[in-house]
Amino acid sequence: MSMNYDDSSSIVYINTVDNMIEQRDSEPLKFVRLSNPNRIYFDINDAVLVGEKKQLVFEKSDIKEIRLAQFETNPKNIVRAVITFEEDFDTSKVKLMSLDGNIIVKTSALKLDNDYFTTVYDDEAKNTAYSSIVANSQFVQKVKIPVSQVKAANNVMADIQRAFENSTLANADGQTYDSVVSVDVSSNLKLRTKYFISQYTPKNGGLLVSGLGQLSTSKMFYLNSPKRAVIDLPNTFLDRKIRNSEVKLCPDGSCKDTAKIGQFEYNKARIVITSDRAEKYIPIYSQDAQSLFLIDTDKLEHTTLSNTTSNINKAFVRKIDSKTNELILSFTNPVVYSVLRNDNSINFYLFNVKSYNEQDLIKTFNNTYYKPFTLSLLPQIGVRAGMGINKDDIVKIEQSVDSKALKITITKAKQEEPVIQKPSKKNAVKNKVVLDAGHGGSDYGAIREGINEKDITLDVTRRVESILRSKGYKTALTRENDVYVSLEDRVEFSENENPEIFVSIHVNSAVSTDPSGIETHYYHDYSKELADTVHKHLVKEIPNTKNRGLFKSKFYVINHTTVPAILVEMGFLSNVDERNELITDSRKQKTAKAIAEGIIEYLKVNGKK
Ligand SMILES: [Zn+2]
């Protein structure tokens, strides 16, 4: 996926987003040494290079050039790496190794401390970790500390601080995040801190905290009287000069919110925001993990955060064990994001992400803990990915050194997936149907040209309700207006209502504008007959659209409800012609009529059984 060279420790990282290399750990990685020019090469089998071929050229280094290229494509898929050295460099010292699925080329005997991923958020942040500063020289401007000054470990912070003071901090200003200053420390030096806060300033009604090293946070929490939002930064050292001073977040007087930062423990900084709207504050991480921005979500404007755009490139899920799943999202460009972890949900805001392949992601999340993830493109914000999660589940988020990948690890407190029992028709209220209008409130579902999925689903659901009621059927709706209802609450609502069947109503979308047509989804085999019956009515009633057929899909609501349950995708909002039709009264009414007639036929046939 990417390549980084850290010349302070003479290490080349070749970063992958798969575990294939790990699986071959038993075979040592081999390379070939050549002369004229003095170089080595090695092949990475079963590998695909993301993006164009990659090349780094150096001036004052033992390594002159590193090149990565797709040497062979299908079916063999070989990526070849060529590293060219200075003529007098002894390449017999070079070692190849793999760590967490990444290939590491060591060109000298230095100790290896750094990893591709560093933690940026941890529910269980421990404060005792020792780690060295990430000196990623491709992206940093170096400040040299004379070795004579770096004597005893307890002098180190002071030395680094002095070095910072002498340098120009061309660091994040909320607009661009290009230049970072780092420190050239001797290789075996370990620091107690990962992050050094050099300044904090009010910015656009929020608080911008800038520093050096690798930022990480723990779970945000809230206090009352007065209302405060608190976030801790483990392994963080705060410049003595700026400790405990209070700043007004709106210097123009438009709000009364204030912020204070202190060195809470010797190795932990604490930020406290005092505001009537404390619970509205979210943390936003810059794409280089050098800056943290805390702001009231309602004041958020995507354009103030980043001037680069990124797309979700690929997603992988690894099942670590029965309780832990790990999701890796890779992006085309460094990502600016925030994590909002509440007791019962987790939301990611990917602020500079403009597109993603919904179908690919849905497939990736299937049968994993990320399955309940819903993704929405929010105007002015970017992409939001959110899911329900239990209070005791542990979330950890790591960011890659190049900010092009996020690793989201969820460890479930309890083993998931309760055994779904076959529905027992005896308990169900006869002729009762739960109708589930997809999305709602802050969850817009698909959005195209100002048209929201959540509005169409509610409109059609209400029409189905009205037809069923006029014919004497009982209905209950998971939402009756434009409000957010979590997937868990929809299932719980249905279970309490005790209907004969559950029908969820959605509008489809894709990144491509080509797909169109109707799909009906079911998961449990006992739901197939309902899916068949409703789908048959839909394609009969709306003959001009494509019949995309039935799908067995593990969507949360139709998997967790214990009565026959289906999810109708009534057409594609992403297709221009279909979108124009989906918003008409006639298409909505035909869709509602077909769903209602399918339900009635199913209930009549099943009632006789
Ligand atoms: Zn939907």
Q: What is the pLDDT of residues 249-278, one digit of tens each?
A: 998 888 999 999 987 776 678 899 999 999
Residue 421 belongs to a domain: no
- String of DSSP letters for 275-337: -TTGGGEEEEE-TTSSEEEEEEGGG--GGGT-S--EEEEEEEEEE-SSSEEEEEEEESS---E
CATH of the domain at 459: 3.40.630.40
146, 60: one domain: no
Residue 420 belongs to a domain: no
In terms of Cβ atoms closer than 10 Å to its own Cβ (0-12, 13-18, 19+), residue 5 is buried
Q: What is the pLDDT of residues 207-244, one digit of tens each?
A: 988 877 678 888 888 888 889 998 888 777 787 778 77
- Domain end marker among 254, 282, 298: 298
93, 170: one domain: no
How far is it, in rounded angstroms, from Cα 375 to Cα 361?
9
Residue 59 belongs to a domain: yes
* Residue of 172 and 358 predicted with greater confidence: 358
Range of the domain at 84: 2-112
Percentage, residues of the chain above pLDDT 90: 26
Q: pTM for this one?
A: 0.45
Residue 247 belongs to a domain: yes
- pLDDT at position 116: 59
- pLDDT at position 415: 61
Residue 491 belongs to a domain: yes
442, 463: one domain: yes
144, 223: one domain: yes
Specify the long-range contacts of residues 317-321, CB closer than 8 Å, at least 24 apart.
Answer: 317/364, 317/365, 317/368, 317/370, 318/19, 319/368, 320/409
- pLDDT at position 6: 57
Q: How far is the CA of 437 from the centre of ligand 1 (A)?
A: 9
**Average pLDDT of the residues of the chain:** 77
Q: What is the pLDDT of residues 373-409, one digit of tens each?
A: 788 877 667 788 888 888 888 888 888 766 788 888 8
- String of DSSP letters for 257-275: -EEEEEEEETTEEEEEEE-
Query: Residue with structure tokens 């069923």?
Result: 468
Q: Say how many C-beta atoms besides its own lie within 10 A of residue 374's C-beta.
A: 17
- pLDDT at position 140: 31
255, 403: one domain: no
Q: How far is the CA of 436 from the centre of ligand 1 (A)?
A: 11
Q: What is the pLDDT of residues 410-467, one digit of tens each?
A: 888 876 554 444 555 557 899 999 999 999 988 899 999 889 999 999 999 999 999 9
| pLDDT tier for residue 199 given thresholds of 50, 70 and 90 | confident
- The answer to whether the CB of 393 falls within 8 A of the CB of 372 is no
407, 449: one domain: no
460, 575: one domain: yes
Residue 417 belongs to a domain: no
Q: How far is the CA of 446 from the centre of ligand 1 (A)?
A: 7
- pLDDT at position 596: 97
Q: How far is the CA of 573 from the centre of ligand 1 (A)?
A: 10
Q: How far is the CA of 395 from the centre of ligand 1 (A)?
A: 26
DSSP, collapsed to helix, strand or coil, labels residue 531 as helix
Amino acid at 593: K
- pLDDT at position 419: 43
- Domain end marker among 268, 298, 328: 298
- pLDDT at position 125: 61
DSSP, collapsed to helix, strand or coil, labels residue 521 as strand
Q: Which residues place a Cβ less than 5 A from the ion ligand 1?
A: 438, 445, 506
Q: How far is the CA of 264 from the centre of ligand 1 (A)?
A: 44
How far is it, in rounded angstroms, from Cα 546 to Cα 541?
12
pLDDT at 135 over 70: no
Q: How far is the CA of 360 from the centre of ligand 1 (A)?
A: 15
288, 317: one domain: no
402, 445: one domain: no
pLDDT at 540 over 90: yes
How far is it, in rounded angstroms, from Cα 105 to Cα 96?
5
CATH of the domain at 83: 2.60.40.3500
User: Which residues neighbour 36 within 8 Å (Cβ) at sequence distance 6 or greater?
Assistant: none
DSSP label at residue 185:
-
- pLDDT at position 312: 85
- The answer to whether the CB of 104 falls within 8 A of the CB of 22 is no
DSSP label at residue 194:
S
| Number of domains making up the chain | 4
- The answer to whether the CB of 514 falls within 8 A of the CB of 529 is no
- pLDDT at position 67: 87
| pLDDT tier for residue 169 given thresholds of 50, 70 and 90 | very low
Q: Say how many C-beta atoms besides its own lie within 10 A of residue 18's C-beta.
A: 16
Q: What is the pLDDT of residues 559-607, one digit of tens each?
A: 999 899 999 999 999 999 999 999 999 999 999 999 999 999 999 998 7
Q: How far is the CA of 539 from the centre of ligand 1 (A)?
A: 20
Q: How far is the CA of 443 from the centre of ligand 1 (A)?
A: 10
Residues forming the active site = 569
Residue 66 belongs to a domain: yes
- pLDDT at position 528: 93
pLDDT at 360 over 90: no
Q: How far is the CA of 544 from the centre of ligand 1 (A)?
A: 22
214, 136: one domain: yes
How far is it, in rounded angstroms, from Cα 510 to Cα 215?
35
- Domain end marker among 270, 298, 326: 298
* Residue of 149 and 548 predicted with greater confidence: 548
Q: How far is the CA of 312 from the centre of ligand 1 (A)?
A: 19
Q: How far is the CA of 439 from the centre of ligand 1 (A)?
A: 6
- pLDDT at position 452: 94
Residue 439 belongs to a domain: yes
23, 87: one domain: yes
284, 326: one domain: no
Q: Cis link prior to 75 (omega < 30° from 0)?
A: yes
Query: Residue with structure tokens 């299937």?
Result: 366
